[in-house]
Amino acid sequence: MRPRMTPPRALAVLALSALMAVPARAQDLSPIDNFFTTLGTALTGPTGRAIGLVALAAVGITFLFGRMNLGLAVSICVGLVILFGSATILGGFA
């Protein structure tokens, strides 16, 4: 019985498959990078400042009416410090 794949036939198949190979069109992550860049800019820019102002105003109003939860007020303030200091914090890691 004769083998199906002889060495010349194997080389021909290998050469043909190498000639037919198409380079991979790898995608970069620029859409995801753009999304997170836009989100970071929004949170640390004027939109984030407006949200922080509303949060601090809510803390002030609850303090005014005597219904302030100290833990919640401190966590809001710490969250705002982390949010607006994040560029400096991440700059230290880079």
Q: Per residue of the chain (94 residues), what is the pLDDT tens digit?
A: 666 778 888 888 888 888 887 776 667 778 889 999 999 888 888 988 999 999 999 999 999 999 989 999 999 999 999 888 888 888 888 7
| 3-state SS assignment for residue 84 | helix
Please check whether residue 6 lies inside any domain of the structure: no
- CA–CA gap between residue 52 and residue 72 (Å, rounded): 14
Please check whether residue 24 lies inside any domain of the structure: no
Please check whether residue 83 lies inside any domain of the structure: yes
pLDDT for position 73? 92
Total length of the chain = 94
**How many domains is the chain built from?**
1
Provide the whole-model pTM. Answer: 0.57
Please check whether residue 54 lies inside any domain of the structure: yes
Please check whether residue 33 lies inside any domain of the structure: no
Please check whether residue 38 lies inside any domain of the structure: no
**Backbone φ, ψ for residue 76 (5° rounding):** -65, -45
What is the span of the domain harbouring residue 63?
Answer: 43-94
CB neighbour list of residue 56: distance below 8 Å, 6 or more residues apart: 76, 77, 80
Please check whether residue 77 lies inside any domain of the structure: yes
Please check whether residue 7 lies inside any domain of the structure: no
